[in-house]
């Protein structure tokens, strides 16, 4: 049977059975629309977690000394210059960046103008020094090096800390929201070896300094300030603290695939991997994926019910059109022609349902985003859109509708093809 003749027969059948075709397409649209909507929501929330809440480079491995170290007795555990050289020599390591905490408490007491508002506040801060190469792409002012005693220390703040400030602290204290560019050049006082909550180091001097913000970085310390490594070494030396061992090292693997082998090699050297944030991101992502999977399963069940409904409707249609089918077979239609007609009818219904369901899901997502933007209060990491619809999800929704309908029509089509024209026409 030619395509034009098949199309005409299918169109006539659907027009005659338009009520049943409408409800069948509606069932498919409900299942496909729910599936596409929930998949888009899960992918969108997952994207926010990966890119904003827990941003991570797949090639980075954070190495820290073990919590309990037996030193050279068991072959390592001390993160000193010798160990750093051993790490650098690993074949999977492309480069590495050292980190050293300022080994004394620090406090900042600010009293003055804060972007047009009066601010008076004291708070403890943490400080960590890092190799400039780790954050060089985020420095927006001057060079990220130790300027020497008496000069403001260049510092980076965490982009996530800024997000939390803008959406929680600033509204509560009626302070202005800040963009990273606004903070560049801002200076605040920091006293090292002074604290509001803990005891200072005995016998160590108090070092008063200034920190000048030179940028914001995803790799900066979340609950403190990130300064150049040589500045941290100098401060520790002036306070009589350890300057020979490092608080951590960030390794850059040659490729993401080399990370597992690199992790094993690091552990064999008696060191540990600081993957707390990675594990937290994986746990949150797993929770989102589990919820999305449960909702997707519910949506697939709706599609299955739609396929069963199509099977029931087409079975009734085949029984009602038995004589019509018998006449077609009597004038030369083959069994495959009859089967193709029924499958084509279901395919049109499924394709229409899949397309409408997918479009409805995307439109509903736009409405939800608009309502969230207008009525939900600001909160940390609030995205512009909670949804993500990559093309495989969109195309997959339409194809799923088609497959569900064709699957439902499979047995009715074979039943129609098995019709005996002689017995049918004889009544």
**3 band by pLDDT with thresholds 50, 70 and 90:** low
Distance (Å, whole) CA 3 – CA 335: 16
**74 band by pLDDT with thresholds 50, 70 and 90:** very low
Mean pLDDT of the chain: 86
What pLDDT, on the 0 to 100 scale, is given for residue 71? 46
Question: Hey, which of 61-70, 265-274, 320-329 has the most confident mean pLDDT?
Answer: 265-274
Question: 407 versus 319: which is more confidently predicted?
Answer: 407
Is the model's pLDDT at 419 over the cut of 70?
no
**140 band by pLDDT with thresholds 50, 70 and 90:** very high
pTM (predicted TM-score) = 0.73
What pLDDT, on the 0 to 100 scale, is given for residue 309? 81
Work out the average pLDDT over 79-107.
94
**425 band by pLDDT with thresholds 50, 70 and 90:** low
Degrees to nearest 5, angle at CA 194 with 193 and 200: 65
Degrees to nearest 5, angle at CA 118 with 114 and 119: 70
Distance (Å, whole) CA 64 – CA 78: 9
What pLDDT, on the 0 to 100 scale, is given for residue 123? 92
Residue 319: how many CB atoms within 10 A of its CB? 12
What pLDDT, on the 0 to 100 scale, is given for residue 278? 73
Helix or strand run (H / E) with residue 293 = helix 276-320
What pLDDT, on the 0 to 100 scale, is given for residue 93? 94
Q: Environment class of residue 184 by beta-carbon count within 10 Å: exposed (0-12), middle (13-18) or buried (19+)?
A: middle
Q: Which string of DSSP letters, residue by residue, matches 8-57?
A: HHHHHHHHHTHHHHHHHHHHHHHHHHHHHHHHHHHHHHHHHIIIIIS---
Q: Environment class of residue 314 by beta-carbon count within 10 Å: exposed (0-12), middle (13-18) or buried (19+)?
A: buried
Is the model's pLDDT at 124 over the cut of 90?
yes
SS3 of the chain: helix, strand, coil, percent, to 5:
55, 20, 25
Distance (Å, whole) CA 15 – CA 55: 54
Is the model's pLDDT at 56 over the cut of 60?
yes
């Amino acid at each position: 049977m030619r395509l034009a003749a098949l199309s005409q027969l299918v169109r006539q059948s659907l027009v005659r059975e338009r009520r049943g075709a409408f409800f069948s397409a509606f069932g498919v649209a409900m299942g496909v629309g729910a599936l596409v909507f929930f998949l888009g929501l899960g992918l969108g929330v997952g994207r926010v977690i990966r890119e904003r809440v827990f941003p991570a480079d797949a090639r980075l491995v954070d190495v820290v000394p073990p919590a309990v170290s037996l030193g050279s007795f068991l072959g390592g555990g001390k993160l000193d210059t010798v160990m750093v050289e051993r790490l650098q020599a690993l074949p999977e390591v492309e480069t590495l960046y050292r980190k050293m905490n300022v080994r004394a408490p620090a406090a900042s007491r600010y009293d003055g103008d804060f972007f047009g508002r009066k601010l008076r506040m004291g708070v403890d801060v943490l400080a960590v020094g890092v190799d400039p190469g780790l954050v060089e792409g985020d420095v927006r002012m001057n060079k990220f090096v130790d300027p020497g005693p008496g000069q403001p220390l260049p510092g980076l703040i965490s982009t996530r800390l800024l997000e939390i400030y803008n959406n929680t602290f600033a509204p509560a204290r009626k302070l202005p929201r800040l963009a990273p560019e606004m903070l560049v050049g801002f200076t605040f006082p920091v006293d090292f070896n002074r604290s509001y909550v803990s005891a200072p180091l005995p016998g160590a001097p108090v070092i008063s300094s200034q920190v000048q913000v030179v940028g914001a970085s995803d790799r900066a310390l979340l609950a403190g300030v990130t300064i150049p490594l040589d500045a941290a070494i100098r401060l520790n030396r002036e306070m009589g603290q350890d300057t020979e061992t490092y608080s951590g090292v960030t390794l850059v693997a040659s490729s993401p695939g080399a990370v597992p082998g690199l992790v094993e090699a690091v552990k064999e050297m008696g060191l540990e991997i600081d993957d707390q944030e990675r594990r937290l991101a994986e746990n949150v992502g797993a929770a989102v994926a589990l919820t999305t999977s449960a909702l997707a399963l519910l949506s697939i069940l709706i599609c299955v019910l739609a396929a069963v409904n199509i099977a029931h409707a087409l079975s009734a249609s085949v029984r009602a059109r038995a004589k019509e089918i018998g006449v077609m077979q009597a004038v030369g239609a083959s069994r495959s022609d009859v089967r193709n007609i029924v499958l084509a009818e279901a395919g049109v219904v499924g394709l229409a349902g899949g397309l409408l369901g997918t479009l409805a899901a995307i439109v509903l997502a736009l409405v939800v985003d608009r309502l969230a933007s207008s009525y939900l209060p600001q909160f940390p990491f609030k995205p512009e859109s909670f949804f993500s619809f990559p093309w495989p999800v969109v195309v997959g929704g339409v194809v799923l509708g088609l497959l569900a309908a064709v699957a439902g029509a499979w047995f009715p089509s074979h039943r129609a093809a098995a019709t005996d024209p002689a017995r049918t026409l004889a009544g």
